[in-house]
Amino acid sequence: MTNVPEKDNVTPLRPTRPCPECGKPSARATYPFCSQRCKDVDLNRWLSGSYVIPGSEEDANPDDDER
């Protein structure tokens, strides 16, 4: 017999948190998301420009100051 700990006795590495996409509990393999699908949805939003970090007015047109 081997000394393999039972799955219920393993302390999780991180506390589960709600998935930022759907609110279900997060999974270890796709943390902080609950599934690969939710992870891919978030990545698509970043790549398509849905998430934007706002800049200041000064950063909007740096070429205007050179003219």
10 is in an annotated binding site: no
Q: d(Cα 35, Cα 44) in Å, to the nearest integer?
A: 14
User: Is 38 part of any known ligand binding site?
Assistant: yes
Token code pair at residue 14 = 């991180």
Per-residue b or e along 15-46, where b marks 16 or more CB atoms closer than 10 Å to that residue's CB: eeeebebeeeebbeeeebbbbeebbeebeeee
- Say whether 1 counts as a known binding-site residue: no
Q: Is 22 labelled as part of a ligand binding site? A: yes
Binding site residue list for Zn(2+): 19, 22, 34, 38
Binding site residue list: 19, 22, 34, 38
